[in-house]
């Protein structure tokens, strides 16, 4: 079998066989297939697409290229949740506490932020002492004892995906639904959960900018998961506006604590309730209505907050910072960004706002770059709000005035104003499972 022939077949739009897909995944992972040939194949896939069968085979091959985590010794059905990435998206921390407080084990591996999207692990590491690296035994023991553990991703989880993604990132082949779906699902399958809920973002701050593309991606991932025995549900959710008001690691932890204490922004609370509901539902905790009632009760009664405290303590975090948030380190500069226009905020370029948070120090442009946990943005106005010239749009937390001024320019260029109030957009656009696509 030759890589040349596989590239030629896909260039012509032909369906690749299981043997051919296995050949290039294993060969590239092992270093036997050069980057220039793999780049050519990725471009052919990007232009010609892949069938559902090809996508499922590719996902399985990438999943088994490294470690497959065995969670069978954890009691109960394990549920995982994955977001395709957004700005201000701290839902994992809230919904994991809700779901674990109701007896569903959460054994979750999460990633760091890169580019304009934040990472769950970075947020958690802003809590002093919080540990994210464990042996498999330690990880499983914590889940069995506390009901929840969120760790960093294993270095050998789907290594084929890591190598292929690094190449996609520099060859303009990222935006291919089969490649995105197989990338995400290979890691989810390898991570070992029984059931998976997907939060597929759509809009200016999302990877998928269009609703139709987001629904297609959601359906592709649901089908992959179901084909390997996972129970799957996906929600397609809005990312044309940042989620909540806080963007940046410590700032987002503070907002998480607010929500778990019965406060916090409505959009964040609403989407957390919906995602937690779906996680409980795929874990057989009742009907959707019953699961929503359970999720609300956990949040309102303080059960979820208690479980969050347990998780922080079990992973070495200093709980006193959670109970007394004044202890968190504050940035040197808190700059008031004021509006230079009047009217309604009609549109936000959320990716631009995410980039502004990186300018302030809250994100990284390349893997391994240091971040400033205390930096970021606290929005004062969002889409639909009325603004007068001189009103405060946001508070910029950073280490220097120079960074604040640079971020200010980026944020102001990311906002559009109008004289009329824009139509309110839904938080959830669609629900996708193995049988149905329901649009809202």
Q: Is 161 a catalytic residue?
A: yes
**Which residues face 232 on adjacent strands?**
196
Counting Cβ atoms within 10 Å, is residue 261 exposed (0-12), middle (13-18) or buried (19+)? middle
> What is the distance between the alpha carbons of residues 128 and 117, in angstroms, rounded to a whole number?
22
82 is catalytic: yes
Q: How far is residue 274's CA from residue 361's CA, in Å, rounded to a whole number?
A: 31
* Nearest C-alpha neighbor of 273 from the set 114, 42, 33, 265: 265
Edge-to-edge strand list for the sheet holding 79-83: 79-83, 195-202, 231-238, 428-432, 437-439
Is 112 a known active-site residue?
no
In this structure, what are the phi and psi dihedrals at residue 129, rounded to the nearest 5 degrees?
85, -10
Report the relative pairing of strands 376-379 and 428-432 from DSSP bridges.
unpaired
Catalytic one of 108, 163, 187, 292: 187
Show Cβ contacts of residue 344 under 8 Å, excluding neighbours closer than 6 positions: 384, 385, 386, 387, 417, 418, 419, 420, 421, 422
Task: Report phi then psi at 380, rounded to 5.
Answer: -110, -20
- Active-site hit among 168, 201, 219, 303: 168
- The active-site residue out of 110, 182, 183, 339 is 183
Q: Distance between CA 102 and CA 95 in Å, rounded? A: 11
Dig out the tokens for 45 from the structure.
């896939």
Between the alpha carbon of residue 170 and those of residues 164, 174, 206, 398, the distances in Å are 10, 9, 19, 30
Tell which residue, 221, 189, 231, has the closest CA to residue 84: 221
Task: Enumerate residues 6+ apart whose C-beta is below 8 A from 347.
Answer: 204, 240, 383, 415, 416, 422
CA angle 376, 377, 378 (to 5 degrees): 135
Answer left, alpha or beta for residue 88, where phi above 0 means left and psi between -120 and 50 means alpha.
Answer: left
User: At 151, which helix (H) or strand (E)?
Assistant: strand 148-152
270 is catalytic: no
Burial (CB count <10 Å: 0-12, 13-18, 19+), residue 178: buried
DSSP secondary-structure letter at 332? S
Report which secondary-structure segment, H or E, holds 233: strand 231-238
Residues annotated as catalytic are 82, 161, 168, 183, 187
């Amino acid at each position: 079998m030759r890589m040349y022939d596989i590239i030629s077949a896909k260039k012509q739009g032909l369906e690749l066989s299981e043997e051919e897909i296995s050949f290039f995944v294993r060969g590239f992972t092992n270093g036997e297939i050069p980057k220039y040939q793999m780049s050519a194949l990725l471009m052919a896939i990007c232009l010609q697409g892949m069938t559902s069968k090809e996508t499922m085979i590719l996902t399985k091959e990438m999943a088994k290229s490294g470690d497959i985590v065995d969670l069978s010794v954890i009691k109960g059905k394990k549920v995982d949740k994955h977001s395709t990435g957004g700005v201000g998206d701290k839902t994992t921390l809230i919904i994991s506490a809700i779901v674990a407080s109701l007896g569903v084990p959460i054994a979750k591996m999460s990633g760091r932020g890169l580019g304009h999207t934040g990472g769950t692990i970075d947020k958690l590491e802003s809590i002093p002492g919080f540990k994210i690296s464990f042996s498999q035994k330690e990880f499983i023991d914590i889940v069995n004892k506390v009901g929840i553990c969120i760790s960093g991703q294993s270095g050998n989880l789907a290594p084929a995906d890591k190598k292929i993604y690094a190449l996609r990132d520099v060859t303009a082949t990222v935006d291919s639904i089969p490649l995105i779906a197989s990338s995400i699902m290979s890691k989810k399958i390898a991570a070992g959960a029984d059931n998976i809920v997907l939060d597929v973002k759509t809009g200016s701050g999302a990877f998928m900018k269009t609703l139709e593309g987001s629904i297609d991606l959601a359906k592709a991932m649901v089908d992959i998961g179901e084909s390997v025995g996972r129970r799957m549900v996906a929600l397609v959710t809005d990312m044309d506006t940042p989620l909540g008001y806080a963007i940046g690691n410590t700032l987002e932890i503070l907002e998480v604590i607010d929500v778990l204490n019965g406060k916090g922004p409505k959009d964040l609370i609403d989407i957390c309730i919906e995602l937690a509901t779906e996680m409980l539902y795929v874990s057989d905790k009742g009907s959707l209505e019953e699961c929503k009632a359970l999720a609300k009760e956990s949040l309102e009664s303080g059960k979820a907050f208690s479980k969050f405290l347990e998780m922080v303590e079990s992973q070495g975090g200093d709980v006193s910072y959670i109970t007394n948030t004044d202890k968190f380190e504050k940035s040197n500069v808190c700059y008031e960004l004021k509006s230079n226009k009047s009217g309604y905020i009609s549109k936000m370029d959320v990716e631009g706002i995410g980039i502004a948070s990186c300018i302030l120090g809250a994100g990284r442009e390349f893997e391994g770059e240091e971040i400033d946990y205390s930096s970021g943005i606290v929005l004062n106005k969002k889409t639909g709000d009325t603004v007068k010239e001189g009103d405060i749009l946001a508070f910029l937390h950073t280490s220097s005035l120079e960074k604040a001024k640079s971020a200010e320019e980026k944020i102001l260029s990311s906002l559009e104003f109008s004289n009329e109030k824009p139509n309110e957009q839904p938080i959830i656009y669609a629900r996708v499972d193995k049988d149905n696509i329901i649009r809202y």
